[in-house]
Amino acid sequence: MAQFVSSIIVVWTSLVLSVSAQYLQNEALLQAQATCVEYLGIPEARLAQYNISVYPPDRDTMCMIRCAGIILGFWEDEQGLLIDGAKQLFPDSCDVELVAQKVLHCAERKLLSCDPSDACARAYYSFRCAMRKFELSSSTSSSGQKLTAEKFLRAQYVCANTLRIPQDHLKLYNQGVYPDNTETRCLFRCIGIRLELYSDAMGPNLERLHSEFSVDQPLNEFKSRAGYCFEANRPLILDHCTAAYRNLYLCFREHFNAFTTQNRQTLLSHSPSPQTCLDLQSDLLLYGDDV
């Protein structure tokens, strides 16, 4: 009888896993993070950062990653990064084996400069390698491109830090309000660039915007409507930030408004804690270095 019950559980579990693998994986990381924050006595506010995949290189975060790694099977103090465990976190990656090689190579290189007895730092830097490489590889596959509230929040968070925009201004932005002032214009430019929706040289990425926001409308129609808007903006463009604000935000405002309305719950539930300048610089350095 016990055997019968347990085989039912196995069948049921594998069904659930196969149906919603991607959801489960991300959910698993979220759960492990929440558990580790509690277990290690890390201030609860930090969890909001981790929930949007922001992992600054400080002690608490490093040990949280080690803890989550042990729970999820991507880290072991003796063996280091366990690639099979890491793969599961990024089900959308294109060529998993190739990326796995790169991840291991990156981790080996990173760990050369780590104190071998510092398991938290070793787990953390290995995870950073995995996150960067797998993320890059999934951002080239179409399913990984989909704009989500989490990606948007993360871009906004990093941009606000880079531009030193006070945290209380983010509350306004999270309600979908982007007033026409210098600070906000430059924030929107930064968000657009990070999300690959915009570049200074090419302007708004119309194919991306169409597939994100307006798939049901014929592409030609979408493009020509946008063209009229860019044309009207032309005499008003003073600098890169005005260009981005007008041609990306104002020209597609109805779509951005719909996006913030749809994701209201997620956007409003996040008020990330401020990051120090030192954290941020090393964060940016890390990003540069990992690529």
Ligand X SMILES: *[C@@H]1O[C@H](CO)[C@@H](O)[C@H](O)[C@H]1NC(C)=O
The binding site for ligand X (CB under 6 A) comprises 30-31, 34, 47-48, 51
Enter the DSSP assignment of 94: S
Structure token digits, residue 104: 């291991």
29 or 107, CB closer to ligand X? 29
- Gap between the Cα atoms of 86 and 286, Å rounded: 19
What distances in angstroms separate CA 241 from CA 191, 238, 249, one per listed residue? 11, 8, 11
Beta-carbon contacts of 290 under 8 Å, excluding residues fewer than 6 positions away, are: 106, 128, 129, 132, 133
Residue 33: CB minimum distance to ligand X, A: 7
24 or 47, CB closer to ligand X? 47
53 or 242, CB closer to ligand X? 53
Contact 153, 266 (CB under 8 A): yes
26 or 211, CB closer to ligand X? 26
40 or 47, CB closer to ligand X? 47
The residue type found at 191 is: I
Q: Centre a 10 Å sphere on the Cβ of residue 149 and count the other Cβ atoms it contains.
A: 19
Residue 147: CB minimum distance to ligand X, A: 20
